[in-house]
Amino acid sequence: DCAFLDQSQKLLVQRAQERADFAKKFLDKDYKFDGKTEFTFDPDKKAFPKNADEANEFLKKYIHFQIANYQATDMKIDEAKKNVIKNYERAVKRIQDTKQSDLFSDYLDSFARALDPHSSFFSRDSLEDFEIQMRLSLEGIGATLSSQDGFTVVEQLVPGGAAAKSGLIEPQDKIIAVGQDAKKMDNVIDMDLKDVVKKIRGAKGTKVFLTILRKKGEGKNRVEVSLTREKVNLEDEAASIIYEDKEVNGKKKKIGIINFPSFYADSRRGGRSSASDLKKIIKEANEKKVDGLVLDLSNNGGGSLEDAVKIAGLFYKTGNVVKQSSKDAGRSEQTLSDTDPTVDWAGPLVLLTSRISASASEIVAGTLQDYKRAVIVGGDHTFGKGSVQSVLPMPNNLGALKVTVGMFFVPGGNSTQHRGVEADVTLPGPYSTDDIGEKSLDYSLPPQKIAAFVSPEAYVKDGPGAWLMIKPDWVKSLKEKSVTRVDKSEDFKKIDDELKKAKVRGKLIKVSEILKDKSESKTKKDKEKAARYGNKDLKNKEYLKRADVNEATNVLLDLMGLEESQPTGKQANTN
């Protein structure tokens, strides 16, 4: 009996309407902005309001905070007030328009997440999004969309997609109507973004009709557009490499920095995978006579376990990668190994990680660290997700359940659960806070440990298949050199200062600080937007300027210098 869901929905609508009415009344002509407002946003650190008066007192502070955020963009107070009121009205409409199927999906997802943080329920729509993320392709028009003040805004056109090839769509266009027929257009203003996306996506070869609102000079133009949907490859989410020319000990060297955002894999026959893409990238790097590689996993939250095993094996001969415990009592662990004897990359290797590198990223980082194959550079440790999930389709096309089925262990015998993979060379990072990581999540599983299962056959002393093994004294030297650079770096000093401020401030929000930092915040947001939605050259330029990427490159150059200093070149020693 799920009747209580309807009752909950009615109560949510009622409360949302009360908040909207209060905001409209509070922001009348007599409203005075209070720049000294302070409040705690963390629900764990503030009591639940005892009555409506207490709730409204908090809402007043929160409205001052919302006004401050608009003023930080140089918006006038009257316009800021209108926007805040519209936001509350949109919230009411969004809750009112929630479908019963979505309510049921949210309930099932909450129930699953009470078992552990990574079990969840996928509705049909969320399952489709998950599959798109894994295979890096969809059928649609090829545009990245966002929701801004009730409008669906085109942020970026996917190169080679229908929208880009047509020349009819531009970044910052507002989509105000969508139709499958030019004579029957649906108004999408104030519509939830996921519902707009659902209307725009469709089978390859079919048409979609859009009404666009485009700003031109001081005025606006309405444009009617017809596009034929195509298969869209999401190249921005795929592995890519940037080459740089550097110097080591006075000699010219070429390095490659591989941005690796996820472990994607299309299970369909002939489908694309992150492992095959990375193999091609490394082949290209070898052809270009690259001397060292950085593999950036710092924003990689995981993905395909099978691809993680294949990718770890690209860097040593063959052998065990990961053990997975069974969900069934009495059954032994399953060992997953790399069986391909080819060493795709044998040279100097640095892995860049952070507190948000998780799951499959931790398998690759932990395995290569245990085999002494790579130097791990980045945040103090990775996320600490050491559990494995399986996606189980539900009957009658009702979606799927993602269920935790076991724990995984890297060759040294450690589970990455809670502890993650500790960096060899630690850098200050924006994610190095106590509230980021598996350990901070409700219902997270306890860590475990098993006997080590490192494979001797992974090591090759010399000749074909020999790869560079990281020596303990090298790690010590790399740490010392990095600490010297980081201590002098203004970029890392800013990151460190922000972390210290956040620790002292906790979850206390000060409106005065929002206004004080507005110019710096706007510049930062503009740069972030350029990095996310700009052209490829601009994205690469902003990416290489990142403090952690730059320092990982420096560590790689130091490692290449150490490699040159050893008399026999590449050499691996058996344990």
Whole-number pLDDT of residue 534: 56
The closest alpha carbon to 212, from 179, 182, 169, 180, belongs to: 169
Res 368 pLDDT > 90: yes
Q: Does residue 129 form part of some domain?
A: no
Q: Are residues 440 and 522 in the same domain?
A: yes
Catalytic status, residue 529? no
Catalytic status, residue 105? no
Least confident of 43-52, 216-225, 248-257, 368-377: 216-225
Q: Does residue 575 form part of some domain?
A: no
Q: Are residues 415 and 550 in the same domain?
A: yes
Three-class SS of residue 572?
A: coil
Residue 349 has φ and ψ, to the nearest 5°, of -140, 130
Whole-number pLDDT of residue 116: 93
Contacts of 142 (CB under 8 A, 6+ apart): 157, 158, 160, 161, 162, 163, 164, 230, 232
pLDDT tier for residue 511 given thresholds of 50, 70 and 90: confident
Residue 505 has φ and ψ, to the nearest 5°, of -75, -30
Boundary residue ending a domain (233, 251, 278): 233
Regarding predicted confidence, which is higher, 536 or 246? Answer: 246
- Percent of the chain whose predicted confidence (pLDDT) is above 90: 69
Q: And the tokens for 310?
A: 């294949």
Res 276 pLDDT > 90: yes
Q: Are residues 87 and 154 in the same domain?
A: no
With beta carbons less than 8 A apart as the criterion, state whether 328 and 288 touch: no
Which of these is catalytic: 199, 317, 385, 402? 385
β-bridge partners, 245: 254
State how far the Cα of 438 lies from the Cα of 48, in Å rounded to an integer.
Answer: 26
State how far the Cα of 119 lies from the Cα of 476, in Å rounded to an integer.
Answer: 40
pLDDT tier for residue 196 given thresholds of 50, 70 and 90: very high
Q: Are residues 222 and 246 in the same domain?
A: no
State how far the Cα of 533 lies from the Cα of 155, in Å rounded to an integer.
Answer: 7
Give the end-to-end CA distance of the chain in Å, rounded to a whole number.
61
β-bridge partners, 223: 212
Domain containing residue 418: CATH number: 3.90.226.10
pTM of the model: 0.84
Q: Does residue 396 form part of some domain?
A: no
Whole-number pLDDT of residue 45: 77
* Average pLDDT over every residue of 504-519: 68
Work out the angle between the directed axes of helices 100-113 and 3-26 (0-180°, nearest 10): 100
* Average pLDDT over every residue of 362-369: 98
The closest alpha carbon to 424, from 470, 361, 393, belongs to: 470
Boundary residue ending a domain (190, 215, 233): 233
Q: Does residue 485 form part of some domain?
A: yes
Q: Are residues 153 and 7 in the same domain?
A: no
What are 29-88's pLDDT values in tens digits?
889 999 999 888 777 778 889 999 999 999 999 999 999 988 887 889 999 999 999 999
Whole-number pLDDT of residue 574: 35
State how far the Cα of 413 lies from the Cα of 453, in Å rounded to an integer.
Answer: 7
Query: Quick one: three-class SS letters along 487-515?
Result: HHCHHHHHHHHHHHHHHHHCCEEEHHHHH
Mean pLDDT of the chain: 90
Three-class SS of residue 97?
A: coil
Three-class SS of residue 197?
A: helix
**CB neighbours (10 Å) of residue 479?**
17
Distance of CA 491 to the CA centre of its chain: 22
Q: Are residues 360 and 250 in the same domain?
A: yes
Three-class SS of residue 571?
A: coil
Side-chain half-sphere CA neighbours of 537 within 13 A: 0
Q: And the tokens for 220?
A: 């606006």
The closest alpha carbon to 187, from 200, 197, 174, 178, belongs to: 178
The closest alpha carbon to 57, from 44, 47, 45, 70, belongs to: 47
Strand ranges inside 263-386, DSSP E: 292-296, 319-324, 334-338, 349-353, 375-378
Which of these is catalytic: 273, 359, 361, 444? 359
The closest alpha carbon to 69, from 80, 79, 82, belongs to: 80
Note down the domain range covering 149.
137-233
State how far the Cα of 68 lies from the Cα of 170, in Å rounded to an integer.
Answer: 31
Catalytic status, residue 166? no
Res 94 pLDDT > 50: yes
β-bridge partners, 139: 231
Q: How many domains does the chain have?
A: 3
**CB neighbours (10 Å) of residue 459?**
22
Q: Are residues 470 and 539 in the same domain?
A: yes
Res 375 pLDDT > 60: yes
Domain containing residue 164: CATH number: 2.30.42.10
Q: Does residue 397 form part of some domain?
A: no
Q: Are residues 351 and 432 in the same domain?
A: yes
State how far the Cα of 157 lies from the Cα of 171, in Å rounded to an integer.
Answer: 7
Whole-number pLDDT of residue 221: 83
Q: And the tokens for 146?
A: 């966002």
Q: Does residue 549 form part of some domain?
A: yes
Strands 425-426 and 375-378: parallel
Q: Which of the given ranges, 167-176, 331-340, 368-377, has the highest pLDDT on average? A: 368-377
State how far the Cα of 543 lies from the Cα of 24, in Å rounded to an integer.
Answer: 43
The closest alpha carbon to 322, from 407, 391, 261, 390, belongs to: 407
Q: Are residues 494 and 419 in the same domain?
A: yes
β-bridge partners, 207: 228
Three-class SS of residue 430?
A: coil
Whole-number pLDDT of residue 133: 84
Q: Are residues 219 and 261 in the same domain?
A: no
Q: Are residues 496 and 510 in the same domain?
A: yes
Which of these is catalytic: 291, 307, 370, 558? 370
β-bridge partners, 151: 148
Q: Are residues 423 and 529 in the same domain?
A: yes
Regarding predicted confidence, which is higher, 523 or 292? Answer: 292
Whole-number pLDDT of residue 573: 43
State how far the Cα of 553 lies from the Cα of 560, in Å rounded to an integer.
Answer: 11
Q: Does residue 325 form part of some domain?
A: no
What are 462-496's pLDDT values in tens digits?
888 899 999 999 999 999 999 999 999 999 999 99
Res 407 pLDDT > 60: yes
State how far the Cα of 512 lies from the Cα of 34, in Å rounded to an integer.
Answer: 9
Q: And the tokens for 251?
A: 């000699």
Whole-number pLDDT of residue 571: 47
Boundary residue ending a domain (67, 96, 125): 96
Q: Does residue 219 form part of some domain?
A: yes
β-bridge partners, 349: 293
